[in-house]
Structure 1
């Protein structure tokens, strides 16, 4: 028998590592799509043909899983494994062309080749890097695969220089280059400049989360079940039998259905299962329905509502005053003076439950809400602008406020009643 800590680690590891293979199985990626992408990359790596393509789909639809599966198939070919160079860029990390070029140089291991050379333009620098990859006989080049994750963020680079040069090189016959972009934006082509769009091959692969709830339950069971070769066979049988009972439990199915309707992204399901499995210990060896419900609450917890739980009663009152201003003026911006006046109306009506703070103290509380980003200014404040009259917008909706108040410890009853009232205190 394995020590229990090793067992728990094994389960957590299995949930994390096994997710990709099961993810790709149930994401309804057709064999034709994978074959098409594989052939596209083979034409680059084997025949030296340059290409470009976009993989488009919502988060969790299997874009990265599809690409990783194809790359594994590709690298099993000896000829490809020895020649193919991969460059992975991410729009969240490479925020401008200078950073992107530095990362390309690092991944191609050409830092020593570039040295202290000075280039006149981005295009010259990139062309030099690709020229440095030519083989000794200088008749052919190593094929390079550029993978641009969060592709839509590269569109916002100045003049789209990186995309222009990559697509331009992918059209030339000198260097075999394939550019693969992954994005969630369905309108991505509309964001490309005309000169960039003209150099793109317009190959687009669309993916969707098309599985139904029955398949979602099946994924839930397979993700949570222990494999047949698990060392402790008797425990594995108990565990898998318990998983089967959970999948048939009405309350668990209702909870999973809510998650399914909220998002089909299987990473959300994996997070839910990871949180539930983390409660397993020696005295609690099997997952229960209550573990899953508690994990569901944690995974879908509202971060802004959590911030509200830590505010003072005065700050809560200011948020309620802003809520009423939003209701009365139908979401129009407000300023501190309007919030202060609303707060004063409440104090005058319910003076026995709240201390009447001086205006500078109330201003300090208002500025704290601004620092917590629960309130934001409509425009950047100028040096001469009076703080009391800067137009603001509340970043909480009514449901978030009311839910946070229900969980707020020792909140005065009059404050809750003020928040629940449909009209401002006049």
Structure 2
């Protein structure tokens, strides 16, 4: 019996389509992990498409023609800068270039950067570039200096920590290697904050001195940053050696562009080659994706998400969660999965443990809601305790009548409330808004409630206490 793709869009799938289902799911998740690959397949070139072509030309010039190049890859966070440089390097992987990756967040000094360069060169070339005799001679001269790091013992091996002065000796050697070198500087602006900018000076000076010849193999320095004034941070001597080439990236500029990229990702090509049921599965899957993206409720959720943030990674995470939940019994993208994914991405998860709070904690939460209504965003324990005592006295004089009987409010000793208050502070439900000097008693330190009134109302209603509900409603 043939599977009717035009009518049966809700599974379960027949067994002969399971190989195509698994292959498509694997390929979609792989593309979602590197979404920049799909952006180049759109009808009109985007900003990232142009940037990718410029970066590819620069890397090709270094790897294929032994040029010396430098550029700055500039764009907001989440615009695909790192994925773009990785894709360009992967295209020239057949030439086996030496790729040195440094991060301004990790290599905070030139000494750390030099150590990382030496380590990565040793891993990729298998040989030490600096003569061992020179290193050992310097170690013997300074072995009495207790403030000099002579050796690190990593994995049972001794690696000499080179001083920053070796920058002028190590960096120029990169031109003499048998393979081209690509240096990727993540958080380029942080390297510009290093004293004297020695690392940047040596790298860019080496790039400037690179000449296409039989001895040189080419070197490229690519800086990655989201700070627009990074070039202005460079010293004059460093800026004069920088090419000034800036390649800009950008996230999708419109919802339609994001949906177009999502459609390309969700409809991969070149999958299930050789499978006799490929066309049947492809027709069924593409119709399901088209119906999913054209659904008005799905479009509303994606539009709201795009209005909050234009970061395409948010949509990627939403689609990833939807795809991972696909099963042979439920093989279609569903509105329910999108709603759950959007809720997780937009807001913090609800505090599930609040539903089981004890009675004294509920009293303190309601008292904090009254303090907020009274114009006191911050409160002390004594303020909450006085509010609680006033409510107890009010109920004693006018108890709640229920089925002919009166219901009074349960009284809690002061010690119990203090202990409960400290527990709420420990789990960050009450957060301190001031320093806690020793001269102030802890019951007079100001706090703020991290749970809003809407959540407090839901917790109290679930508890089912009539007195607590009436007390909370007074704060409206």
The answer for the alignment partner of 1:377 in structure 2 is 432
Tell me if the contact between 2:73 and 2:247 (Cα under 8 Å) persists in the aligned partners. yes
1-side partners of 2:99 and 2:330: how far apart?
49
Residue in structure 2 matching 1:213, options 255, 263, 282 = 255
1:307 Cα deviation (Å)? 5.5
2-side partners of 1:362 and 1:224: how far apart?
55
1:56 Cα deviation (Å)? 2.2
1:23-422 matches, cutoff 5 A: 23=39, 25=41, 28-41=46-59, 46-47=65-66, 49=68, 51-57=70-76, 59-75=77-93, 78=95, 81-82=96-97, 84-89=98-103, 91=105, 94=106, 96-97=108-109, 103-109=116-122, 113=128, 115-119=158-162, 123-124=164-165, 126-127=167-168, 130=171, 133=174, 135=176, 143-149=181-187, 154=190, 160-161=193-194, 164-173=197-206, 178-183=221-226, 185=227, 201=242, 204-225=246-267, 227=269, 229-230=271-272, 231=275, 232-233=277-278, 234-303=280-349, 305-306=351-352, 308-309=354-355, 311-329=357-375, 331=377, 333-349=378-394, 355-383=410-438, 385-396=440-451, 398=452, 401-403=453-455, 405-406=457-458, 410-412=462-464, 414-415=467-468, 418-419=471-472, 422=475
Q: Deviations over 1:6-49 (max 9, x none)?
A: 66643442232223212455693254433433455556655553
1:323 Cα deviation (Å)? 4.2
1-side partners of 2:107 and 2:357: how far apart?
35
2-side partners of 1:125 and 1:165: how far apart?
11
1:180 Cα deviation (Å)? 0.9
SS at match of 2:193: helix
2-side partners of 1:325 and 1:95: how far apart?
49
TM-score (norm 2): 0.67
1:271 Cα deviation (Å)? 2.3
2-side partners of 1:317 and 1:373: how far apart?
17
2-side partners of 1:240 and 1:353: how far apart?
64
Over 3 Å counting, the alpha-carbon distance change for 1:87 and 1:209 in structure 2 is closer
2-side partners of 1:203 and 1:170: how far apart?
15
Over 3 Å counting, the alpha-carbon distance change for 1:409 and 1:213 in structure 2 is same
Q: Deviations over 1:314-371 (max 9, x none)?
A: 434434433443443464x433333333444444445757533333333333333333
2-side partners of 1:357 and 1:143: how far apart?
72
TM-score (norm 1): 0.73
1-side partners of 2:237 and 2:353: how far apart?
44
Aligned length: 400
1-side partners of 2:427 and 2:54: how far apart?
49
- Look at both structures and tell me which one has the larger radius of gyration over its CA atoms: 2
- Could you tell me which runs of 5 or more consecutive residues in structure 2 were left unpaired when the two chains were aligned: 1-13, 129-134, 136-157, 211-218, 397-406
Tell me if the contact between 1:8 and 1:280 (Cα under 8 Å) persists in the aligned partners. no
2-side partners of 1:197 and 1:376: how far apart?
47
